[in-house]
Amino acid sequence: MKKMNSFFLKKAILVAYLLTPILSVAQVNVDSTSKNYNQIIEISGNSIKSPIILGERRKTNEDRLTYILRGNEITIRASELVSFFDGTSMFYSRNVVDQNDKKLIKNIVSGPLYIGQSFKKNGVSVFYIKKENEDRYIQLDNYKYSIESFLQGYLNDFIEFKCKYQKKIFYDYVSLGEFASAYNAYRVPETYVPVEFENPEKLKFGVFGSVNISSLSFTDNLIKFKDAPSYSFGISITDQYTRTFSLDILASYTHSVIEAKVQPIEAVIKTVGIEPSLGASFYINNLICIKVNLGSVVNYEINSGLNLKDEGRSVLIKGFNIGYSSGVDVIYKSKYHAFAKYVNSKINTNNFDLGTIEPSSKRGELSIVRFGIEYSFK
């Protein structure tokens, strides 16, 4: 019995050993090398080991490589290279359909279908596609908003595959990588398995501006304030966890001047705020997306207060206040946002009842409805 158990155990280990490379082949091209140093191979056959590769996209991009060797900065065009390894990824000099110049491309998926990636001078990713029996890549940048229509014409079995895949395909790292990985597994299931991708470029920065309607109210007195126009501007940071969910943070400045309806009182409120929120994105098509946000607000009132004009004095609005926010964005081409947002925060002041001098505080709410635009850098 022991001998039989030992025999079957050895067989199981052998089968597992043989299957392991089959199930892990070429879905994701890790682009690693057996050595951990940078390396450049020129078309002349010259091999340069351990250069300092300048990773800034204006110096190293799809068209050229810039490196430092023995204190000298050297630039070499893609057509003069075979490949280079930057410590993380292997880039190859490849021919591209309808382009005279070669491009430096790394494979993120290999197999019956290849997906390649490179970078423009401004750091924007460029994606390529080819079949394993083709010599030239096709640049997908021209089809970024009609990617599925292109794939339907490019792959004879795309419609059959898409009926099983049932995911919408977008022009980005995760979507293209997972599509090609699933397609290769569909074509050769005994060799490939689908792979999930993580987005390496999920952080985005932006700037925004808005015109607002500001409202101020206090619950413990009879003074009523008019709605008033105001403005906001600031910066945004988006951490895109998945295509659907994100963490969005706004750093904003808001300026409001609000008059009381009857009494001669003017509220001047200057607010610096941090507004973290969770976003959920819903894609209408490749061009248009609707994002819904729900979050919190931490405000600091800068030199803000109530001017009691008849009494010739001011009442300070106290520093830190908290609140909540909600909003909806309409996003075009992942860059251009038009949004509406509601922000509500608590405020605290000293007592300002007319004719009284008491240390007790007044508590109220500042409500702001924003209508604005935002531009995201990619």
Q: What percent of the chain has pLDDT over 90?
A: 60
Higher pLDDT, 15 or 142: 142
What is the C-alpha to C-alpha distance for residues 240 and 201, in angstroms, rounded to an integer?
9
pLDDT in tens, 230-257: 999 999 999 988 788 999 999 999 999 9
Number of Cβ within 10 Å of residue 32's Cβ equals: 12
Same domain (yes/no): 129, 256: no
Q: SS3 string of the chain?
A: CHHHHHHHHHHHHHHHHHHHHHHHCCCCCCCCCCCCCCEEEECCCCEEECCEECCCCCCCCCCEEEEEECCEEEEEEHHHEEEEECCCCEEEEECECCCCCCEEEEEEECCCEEEEEEECCCCCEEEEEEECCCCCEEEHHHHCCCHHHHHHHHCCCHHHHHHHHCCCCCCCHHHHHHHHHHHHHHHCCCCCCCCCCCCCCCEEEEEEEEEEEEEEEECCCCCCECCEEEEEEEEEEEEECCCCEEEEEEEEEEEEEEEECCCCEEEEEEEEEEEEEEEEEEECCCCEEEEEEEEEEEEEECCCEEEECCCCEEEEECCEEEEEEEEEEEEECCCEEEEEEEEEEEEEEECCCCCCCCCCEEEEEEEEEEEEEEEEEC
Q: Within a domain: residue 12?
A: no
What is the C-alpha to C-alpha distance for residues 169 and 179, in angstroms, rounded to an integer?
7
The pair of structure tokens assigned to 225 is 């304030």
Q: Is residue 284 predicted with pLDDT exceeding 70?
A: yes
Question: Can you tell me the mean pLDDT for 299-326?
Answer: 87
Which of 187, 213, 248 is a domain's end point?
187
Q: Within a domain: residue 3?
A: no
What is the C-alpha to C-alpha distance for residues 262 and 267, in angstroms, rounded to an integer?
13
Q: Is residue 360 predicted with pLDDT exceeding 70?
A: no
What is the C-alpha to C-alpha distance for residues 155 and 345, in angstroms, rounded to an integer?
54
pLDDT in tens, 171-203: 999 999 999 999 999 999 999 999 988 877 678
Question: Can you tell me the mean pLDDT for 145-172?
Answer: 93
pLDDT at 201: 66
pLDDT at 36: 57
pLDDT in tens, 88-130: 889 999 999 999 899 999 999 999 999 999 999 888 889 999 9
What is the C-alpha to C-alpha distance for residues 203 and 239, in angstroms, rounded to an integer?
5
Same domain (yes/no): 207, 340: yes
Q: Within a domain: residue 195?
A: no
Same domain (yes/no): 176, 228: no
Same domain (yes/no): 338, 219: yes
Q: Is residue 1 predicted with pLDDT exceeding 70?
A: no
Q: Within a domain: residue 289?
A: yes
Q: Within a domain: residue 15?
A: no
pLDDT at 14: 40
Q: Within a domain: residue 1?
A: no
Which of 187, 218, 248 is a domain's end point?
187
Which of 161, 187, 213 is a domain's end point?
187
Could you identify the residue written with the tokens 């973290």?
Answer: 276
Give the chain's mean pLDDT.
86
Question: Can you tell me the mean pLDDT for 151-157?
Answer: 95
Which pLDDT band, with edges at 50, 70 and 90, does 303 fall under? Answer: confident
Number of Cβ within 10 Å of residue 33's Cβ equals: 14
Higher pLDDT, 153 or 2: 153
Q: Is residue 87 predicted with pLDDT exceeding 90?
A: no
Same domain (yes/no): 102, 209: no
Which pLDDT band, with edges at 50, 70 and 90, does 9 fall under? Answer: very low
Same domain (yes/no): 66, 166: yes
Q: Within a domain: residue 17?
A: no
Q: What percent of the chain has pLDDT over 70?
A: 86
The pair of structure tokens assigned to 209 is 């501006």
What is the C-alpha to C-alpha distance for residues 302 and 281, in angstroms, rounded to an integer?
34
Higher pLDDT, 202 or 287: 287
Same domain (yes/no): 119, 37: yes
Q: Is residue 27 predicted with pLDDT exceeding 60?
A: no
What is the C-alpha to C-alpha distance for residues 341 and 369, in angstroms, rounded to an integer?
6
Same domain (yes/no): 36, 106: yes
Q: Is residue 12 predicted with pLDDT exceeding 50?
A: no
Q: Within a domain: residue 198?
A: no
Same domain (yes/no): 109, 52: yes
Same domain (yes/no): 70, 116: yes
Amino acid at 48: I
Same domain (yes/no): 60, 161: yes
Higher pLDDT, 231 or 335: 231
pLDDT in tens, 52-76: 998 888 899 999 999 998 889 999 9
Q: What is the CATH number of the domain that holds 367?
A: 2.40.160.20
pLDDT at 353: 62
The pair of structure tokens assigned to 173 is 């790292």
Q: Which domain holds residue 291?
A: 203-377
- Number of domains making up the chain: 2
Same domain (yes/no): 52, 172: yes
